[in-house]
Amino acid sequence: MNEPFCISFADVVVYPRARELHVRGERVNVNACSFEILLALIEADGQIVSTKELFRRLWPRTCVAETNLRVHMYKLRRALGDNASAIRTAPNRGYWLTPPLIRRADPSAGADAVVLIDDDKAMRAALNALLLSLRSKVERQAATTDCESASISVTSDRIVLNLRLRP
């Protein structure tokens, strides 16, 4: 499957192609090794990923101490915050991700731009913040006098604004 996708569990969303981690709608910075551990756990889909497999994936041609893996696992759990317990440890075996994973199309992949139309500055600011948290690009903020017609469609996984602006 070549189309962009994201994986979510609890209030965590992972964007593998963009290599981004979002917790409670906020982007969280994690280093490359910690993110790679998260991807390995996601790909295993609830199965234990052995420490040997993680070492082969993270450091394929380098011999490193086991403490390196523990440090990156600690950083990943810290980045997950309240969701840290989603990663479980199988002593002397490896790690696994416990919650069910939801794979879906990346909601920002198809949207080139969003137009906000509202005369209330506070409402525009709130909508702008919401769209940015959803990784949508805000192209223009217009006043209602610029709009000839508008309709909105809301489903469980998207909001579609159909707008016609005056020339």
pLDDT, tens digit, 9 for 90 and up, residues 32-64: 999 999 999 999 999 999 999 999 999 988 888
**pLDDT for res 63:** 86
Structure tokens at 153: 């469609």
Query: Top-level CATH class of 5-104?
Result: mainly alpha
pTM (2 decimals)? 0.63
Find out whether 88 and 96 touch, Cβ atoms under 8 Å.
Answer: yes
Parts of the chain with a pLDDT under 70: 1-4, 106-120, 123-124, 127-128, 131-167
Q: d(Cα 167, Cα 157) in Å, to the nearest integer?
A: 31
Instruction: Quickly tell me which residue has 């440890």 as its tokens.
Output: 89
Find out whether 94 and 50 touch, Cβ atoms under 8 Å.
Answer: yes
**pLDDT for res 141:** 52
State whether residue 111 is helix, strand or coil: coil
Q: Cβ of 80: how many Cβ atoms within 10 Å?
A: 22
**pLDDT for res 126:** 72
How do the domains of the chain map onto residue ranges? 5-104, 111-165
Q: Kindly give the pairing relationship between strand 138-142 and strand 114-117.
A: parallel
**pLDDT for res 88:** 96
**pLDDT for res 1:** 43
